Amino acid sequence: MAPGKDQEVEELRRKLDSVSGDAAVRTLARKAARLHRKDRTLAPLIELAHALWKGKSESGKTAALEMVSSVGRRLEEDHWPELKGWVGDVRLAKHADLLGRDVLGWLVQRDRAWLRVLKHWALSKNKWERRVAVMAVVPRARRMGDAEAAHDLCESLMGDADPDVQEAVGLLLCESFEADPGMTRDFLSRWDSRTHATLRPLLPLR
């Protein structure tokens, strides 16, 4: 990383250390992202966010995700490998949700083909990777009414016993219910016998 970039990272880290709460972190992150709005590409911003994400600070990781989510509409297919590399460092539900819903979700919303990759993630032994996969489909279901995409992703997770994954599955299926109640009822009925007992209370009314 260039010396000037190192200085930018350290200055932002100092500012993050001086605030508390996700709202304040989000404000700082969005302000830092705006300083790069005239950059020809997203590379400088992604590089800065990467440095924050690879640090040990929870607020730094949150800021990294908020920065990238603020330019979500400009993300391209080429950014997926970099962002995929962040998944293994997720340790908190809020980071899984930001990375899935607010970052990768932009790419999934534009191109349904990413669903094939997410279905593979949904089979991971890493619960956070599974949660990221679910949350990445939320924008597509919410903004585009693609209930089918939600159902395709959730099929392998209806019997998942992990509470963090169940929470995400319940949220996504509630979005799919809003998009297409009939299709979602049919899906829930079809998978009823394989639905984990502790997931049931989180599902939309049938």
Contact 50, 12 (CB under 8 A): no
DSSP string, 161-183: --HHHHHHHHHHHHHHHHH-HHH
Q: For all residues of the chain together, what is the average pLDDT?
A: 96
d(C-alpha 123, C-alpha 128), whole Å: 11
Q: What is the pLDDT of residues 152-202, one digit of tens each?
A: 999 999 999 999 999 999 999 999 999 999 999 999 999 999 999 999 999
d(C-alpha 165, C-alpha 30), whole Å: 28
Q: Which residues contact 109 (CB under 8 A, 6 or more apart)?
A: 139, 140, 143, 144
pLDDT confidence band for 6 (50 / 70 / 90): confident
Q: Which residues contact 170 (CB under 8 A, 6 or more apart)?
A: 199, 202, 203
Sign of CA dihedral 73, 6, 16, 165: positive
Q: What is the pLDDT of residues 18-37, one digit of tens each?
A: 999 999 999 999 999 999 99
Q: How far is C-alpha 172 from the geometric centre of its chain's CA atoms?
A: 12
pLDDT of residue 59 exceeding 60: yes
Task: Say what the pLDDT of residue 173 is.
Answer: 98
Average pLDDT of span 4-10: 84
Single pTM value for the model: 0.95
DSSP string, 52-85: HHTSS-HHHHHHHHHHHHTTGGG--GGGHHHHHH
- Tokens for 194, please give them: 């394989």
Residue 22: CB atoms within 10 Å = 16
d(C-alpha 51, C-alpha 62), whole Å: 12
d(C-alpha 163, C-alpha 201), whole Å: 12
pLDDT confidence band for 2 (50 / 70 / 90): low
Average pLDDT of span 1-18: 83
